[in-house]
Amino acid sequence: MMAMRAFITTVLLTAAAAASAQDASLTGFGPASSAAERGIEQRVDASIGSADLDGWLRRLTSAPNQVGSAHNKENADFIAASLRQWGWDVTVEPVRVLVAYPTTQTLSLSGGDHYAADFSEPAVAGDPDTTRKDGVLPGMEAYSPDGRVDAPLVFVNEGLARDYDELAQLGESVKGKVVLVKSSGAGRWVKPRLAQEHGAVGVVIYSDPEADGFPKGEVYPGGAWRTDRTVQRGTLGIDSVLDAKGAKTLQAEHRTGDLAIPVVTIGYGDAEHFLRALAGKPVPLRWQGGLPLAYHVGGDAGVHLEVRSPWEWRTLYNVVATLRGSTWPDEWVIRGVHHDAWVYGAWDPLAGTTALLAEAKALGEQARAGQRPKRTVVFASWDGEELGILGSKAWAERHASELAKHAVFYLNNDTTGRGFLAAGGDPSLAALVDGVAADLKDPETGASVQARRLAKRAVDAAGKGKDASGDLIPERLGTGSDYLPFAHRFGVPSLHVRYGYDRNGDDESVPVYHSLYDTYTHYQRFGDPGLAYVSLLAKTNARLVLRTANADVLPWRYTAFAESLGKDIDRVQAGAEATHREAQRHNALVATDAYRLASVSYRQWKAPAAVDDAWEPVDLTTLRAAQQDLLAAARTYDEAAASAGDLPASRAAKVNAALRTFASAWLQPSGLPQRSWYRHLLQAPGRKEGEDVAPLPGIGDALGAKDWAQARQELALTTQATRKAAASLRAATAAL
């Protein structure tokens, strides 16, 4: 047995050691340039520490901020004016976009008690913002197709593929019916589309309390959690709302692309009335939620559902500000956060925008004092994120060729709170994040941010009876915020950071998600009282930006990247084999009548049918060999870079040029075969339940579709990219 205490102690003390080693060189810097950088960071910290965070947050959240609202435009103007005042070169780039906010919404029980849902959210004591109703959107799904149906209501749990399988086993169907589904388990835009595929004529999405209501804690205003009248807004929008030609068709038809059935969203207080009206079969146990009744499938009680929106053109305002780099102006470090919100948006996203203001002020002051960053820094305040990441996508498409030429790093914020630094993104950024976290002091413990990250990981692992071993590699990014076009389409090494606290896996920022109650008052009580973590987030962002912008050599490290690729290959192989084994096992159970025998007759379950278990093994050996070679090249580079010292600018430039070809090696310019908007060979949004990001998506998609030829093709492309990336690292090593 290993010496456990010694091991854990070492892991935890690494952070403390790093934090105290103020003399050591920063990643990407030599001794001299490190000292200069630390000086800048100290001055930036002082500026952030004296910034008017509370005033900005109060101002930004003082009125509703949805796309098209006056105050969202005011915020864009305020942000633009502020950055201009601090010396940034600011442009406000408008984007025309089709918007459908329902203005008519009805959901009522056709039967005895004629109960009708209420899409508004009542005021709560002690939060003045909740009493004002001017310009507040009701609970709704933006881009719901117009429609009016009278049909039976049927409950289908989370409305995901597995739920429809189980519904079929109960002998029930959603054909011609309105489905009632929980908001949990997947992005809400998935649910109406699956419902429509199964023949449903309307969709009601509700937030079950099990996810973020009273079972998690006291509800607002007594505590932070979701009340029975808290509605989670959302969007069903897709890219075509950005595209004038496609959008005109949508406008004419009052529907959203592939989606033609009306959709509403309600709170759990309303949902309880509808669930109580449902009789019929008892649900599978897995479907039961947190309301105090036995849930039933229904299919008997009728509802009237009606949705109508004016389908209107609105303007998004992306605010994009630049501080031109002093040494390498053609290398861009981009940092973004959106400013639109569903209502006031204190948690989501304006605490992050408050941090951006503080950073911009500090960087502007430094530039005026002669400390202009070496690389160009681009600060972006995106609009239209809530409607479908519209602003950042439009901007990235418009500036695609510049991005390809100039972008070296994209840093994103969105919802943020207090507690622990969470960083997701490209594994090559791990060393940068670790270094920044080690240098920052956590406001509530006095320990370093890195020490808290490591402690949390060790304690969480211990709770599962495990040791926390290995490095803290950021998880690759999924689909939830403005990093989407940068990470997944343009292949810019991207990072998403926030502060937060997951209590047993439950993010305490969730409860007021997309509701009226995401206010300044809620944030100051439960988000980050005193805004100490907004200040810390600004310092964190500033360091991440500056340590990239000012580094002699881009501060990327690749050993963790190559190891992560190795794990992804294992996951894809294991996943494909498990899927195949499961299909065979299932079919064997079907063939032997085991499903019927294992059920009980009074439940009247229908045994499932056999599935396609065709299978061809795809040999990943060459990709594994390429990955091993990449790992060797990565180790060599990382060691050489760590001991490089202060480099002359010309040599550094050569190294940086080589490193930039590493990032672009992973792009498939024609896009992934089954989802051509996405271009990254190593990452795309997950398509399976519970999988935020799909590893090796080209190969994985093809295996999922049983297209073995395509899988081999994607495998060859990925192998080739891996070799190319290894060559980039060898060139970078040679240039050092």
Contact 515, 232 (CB under 8 A): yes
Q: How far is the CB of 18 from a second copy (least distance, A)?
A: 15
Residue 54 CB burial class (10 angstroms; 0-12, 13-18, ≥19): middle
Complex with a second copy: residue 252 or 285, whichever CB lies closer: 285
Complex with a second copy: residue 229 or 547, whichever CB lies closer: 229
DSSP character at residue 259 = B
Q: Of 495, 557, 549, which Cα lies nearest the Cα of 729?
A: 557
Complex with a second copy: residue 7 or 677, whichever CB lies closer: 7
Task: Give, in order, the Cα–Cα distances in Å from 668 to each of 673, 679, 700, 717.
Answer: 9, 5, 15, 8
Q: How far is the CB of 15 from a second copy (least distance, A)?
A: 10
Helix (H, G, I), strand (E, B) or coil at 631: helix
| Measured distance CA(266)–CA(536) in Å, rounded | 36
Q: How far is the CB of 448 from a second copy (least distance, A)?
A: 9
Q: How far is the CB of 594 from a second copy (least distance, A)?
A: 4
Spatial neighbors of 483 by CB under 8 A, at least 6 apart, are 410, 412, 425, 477, 494, 495, 496
DSSP 43-79: HHHHHHHTS-HHHHHHHHTSS---TT-HHHHHHHHHH
- Interacting residues toward a second copy by CB under 8 A: 1, 4-5, 7-9, 12-13, 209, 214-219, 223, 225, 282, 285-286, 288, 290-294, 418-419, 444-445, 447, 451-452, 454-456, 458-460, 462, 465, 467, 501, 503-504, 506, 577-578, 580-582, 584-589, 591-598, 600-601
Q: How far is the CB of 470 from a second copy (least distance, A)?
A: 16
| Measured distance CA(683)–CA(705) in Å, rounded | 18
Q: How far is the CB of 207 from a second copy (least distance, A)?
A: 15
Tokens 């490591």 found at: 454
Complex with a second copy: residue 14 or 479, whichever CB lies closer: 14
Complex with a second copy: residue 62 or 579, whichever CB lies closer: 579
Complex with a second copy: residue 133 or 466, whichever CB lies closer: 466
Q: Which two tokens stand for residue 710?
A: 């395509």
Complex with a second copy: residue 212 or 714, whichever CB lies closer: 212
Complex with a second copy: residue 618 or 727, whichever CB lies closer: 618
Q: How far is the CB of 462 from a second copy (least distance, A)?
A: 5
Q: How far is the CB of 578 from a second copy (least distance, A)?
A: 7
Complex with a second copy: residue 364 or 511, whichever CB lies closer: 511
Spatial neighbors of 90 by CB under 8 A, at least 6 apart, are 80, 83, 84, 319, 320, 321, 322
Q: List residues bridging with 179 in a β-sheet.
A: 154, 203
Complex with a second copy: residue 145 or 575, whichever CB lies closer: 575
Q: How far is the CB of 288 from a second copy (least distance, A)?
A: 5
Q: Rounded to the nearest 10 degrees, what angle do helices 708-735 and 621-642 cross at?
A: 20
Spatial neighbors of 275 by CB under 8 A, at least 6 apart, are 155, 180, 291, 293, 295, 296
Helix (H, G, I), strand (E, B) or coil at 473: coil
Q: How far is the CB of 639 from a second copy (least distance, A)?
A: 29
The sheet with strand 494-500 has its strands ordered as: 89-100, 311-323, 375-382, 328-338, 407-412, 494-500, 420-425
DSSP character at residue 341 = -
